[in-house]
A and B are shown apart, each in its own frame.
Chain A
């Protein structure tokens, strides 16, 4: 209702009809049950993501035939064979035509075949995701936990050397390109020190029987590198939010009631930081996935990020769309979880009424 209120208050007289139509739409939209609205949003997101990915592939100058068969093979290939391959990989088709065909199949659950991996997109994405999951989860958790702790500690010791050290470190980290940091880590810890393997998710030549410890050993370096830039982001945001909370009226009052600084941080600080921390953590999901593309490439880690690079460079539209949809789903799920948890944590949101700023 507040939307309608501001809409009608500020709309010029000529816009009155437009805003009333928009208003009616908003009212109708709000009457739909929340789970249905969320589902509609999700479907719209999937359509938009898949269409944009197709459009980007179509706009890319990469010829899938040339990119995938190799230079020598391409040159010695007969024109008929080239045309056959181009048709099979959909190179010459128009964007809408291609997208329409893909969408028609996708609705029935068929996401197509990956050109580069010669396998169904669903199984390639599933396999790569399973391989990346450990990396992503470790990096996500580490950046969240370490970043939050550093942010709170920096604020609690505001102005001290520790605070300045943490902030300086964070500025340095956020100014550092992830891939460069990854190469540095690779040189130092894998090449010179030899603590960790130089690449891949499993020992070279190992069959399917790889122990969890070995997987972890391979994941540590990329996961740490991936989490580092996230740490800076989370720590600086958390520090700002902690400053806000510690400068609030309720913290001042708690202080004037004789509550100790430690008790204030634990009882009021952490409680009120949970919401912004949740928001940050969920926003961090997309950051981590974005970073994984670069980090996996440097560490030759056969995950989703590396597959995305392969698909992009090979003009492998079905695989790229599959990866985009999978990652968009993960990010969407993260934000959905944040929304649901807000209601659990904040009593002001529980009755479906958001008292923002009031």
Chain B
């Protein structure tokens, strides 16, 4: 990874395969997170073949994906639902299924990562904000889950008390009543659940937050709140990778957009580029632009965002 001398870019300056936004800067002379040429495929039995004769096939989900997150910015990874964006989130956190084949490089804060090192960073540098309350244990009180596992030793107890104090501080800051920590997940309202999930990431004081579809299921008001909270985290110097299919909403808060299509990032560009289709380079991104509300909805030959998910899966299964 070449180190970059200047800490801040001009708007829309292009280097390292991507264009920059005003907020993007290279703290410490490097990207906060760089993913280079990442490919993930899953080895599985051929679903098309007869049951007993089915051979193993590789189902590619991510291929040659390159994307970067800078300190202080919100990068939105936008793509169709079910197209493998969550696999990207898992890969960045070093979480792989046993049948996954992974290739590529991941750098965090200038340091080359492997799966074990990425796993060490969970909760200690990189934190996940999951989609819904289903990510909380239904049988455990919310407060105990935010604080996390605690040891029995005196030191561990003291550390747990400090974490609890920090949790209460955060709950106060996000307007959650102290009684919420005694509730079970099914008792939370949508708005409370969203804040609880955010706090469970913030309590670890991460440098990078990966938000995996944080807005579906929330009404517009709550969704905007959710994104504003992520924006505030980025403004405080952290990096946010916002994984979403809602481009319209993300254009309000993100600095840059990485357009995810057929398992890879086809274009990484500042939000400002979405002002006009001429600023967008890839045909799929242009098609996406045309599909936005209040646009002309002109079909672009062979590149329909709506058929994205279907085309990926059909292509994947046909491969042997």
Contacts and interface: CB of A to CB of B under 8 A. Distances in A.
Given A256-B93, A263-B149, A348 B184 contact: yes
Interface in B21-47: none
Interface in B130-161: 130, 132, 134-140, 148-149
A347 B95 contact: no
B184 A347 contact: yes
Contacts of B130: 249, 253, 256
Interface string B119-136: 110111001101010111
Interface stretch (A54-62, A201-209, A264-272): A264-272
B128 A272 contact: no
B39 to A, nearest CB: 21
Interface residues of A, number: 23
Contacts, number: 67
B98 interface: yes
Given A267-B149, A268-B140, A348-B184, A255 B135 contact: no
B56 interface: no
Given A345-B139, A347-B186, A355-B186, A259 B134 contact: no
A255 B200 CA distance: 13
B137 A271 contact: yes
**Looking at chain B, what size class is its interface with the partner chain?**
20 to 34
A145 interface: no
- Name which of A159, A255, A257, A268 has the most chain B CB atoms within 10 A of its CB: A257
B246 interface: no
B204 interface: yes
A256 B186 contact: no
Nearest to B94: A256
A263 to B, nearest CB: 4
Interface of A: 159, 248-250, 252-260, 263, 267-268, 271-272, 345-348, 355
Given A250-B135, A258-B123, A267-B149, 9 more contacts: A252-B135, A253-B128, A255-B95, A257-B148, A260-B149, A268-B137, A272-B138, A347-B184, A348-B138
Interface of B: 90, 93, 95, 98, 119-120, 122-124, 127-128, 130, 132, 134-140, 148-149, 184, 186-187, 200, 204
